[in-house]
Amino acid sequence: MNKIILILSFFLVVLLYKFTIGETSYFEYNQLKNKVVKIKTENSNFSEKIEIIKAEIKNLKTGLSVIEEKARNELGLIKEKETFYQILK
């Protein structure tokens, strides 16, 4: 009977060690779970940005007005026979 108790207590100590300190410990599990949550939120942010960029690419491929607007706003281009007035405050 003493041998059975000794063997069971040994297994209990080994299991407690693995649960608290080992590579598969509860604390390691919590850290990995937090990393997964953080990475998932980053992925969702990136997927939103990707969707915005895809929509912008689609607009650039199909709409000439978008290209014209970008040329006017970002590059300061004007059409032929068009006068540009800049109002300074």
Tell me what the pLDDT averaged over the chain comes to: 86
Per-residue pLDDT at 77 exceeds 80:
no
Cut 0.75: pTM above it? no
Note the pLDDT tens digit of each residue in 15-43. Answer: 888 888 877 788 888 999 999 999 999 99
Q: Which of 3, 25, 5 is nearest to 15 (CA)?
A: 25
Domain extents in the chain: 2-75
Better-predicted residue by pLDDT, 68 or 46: 46
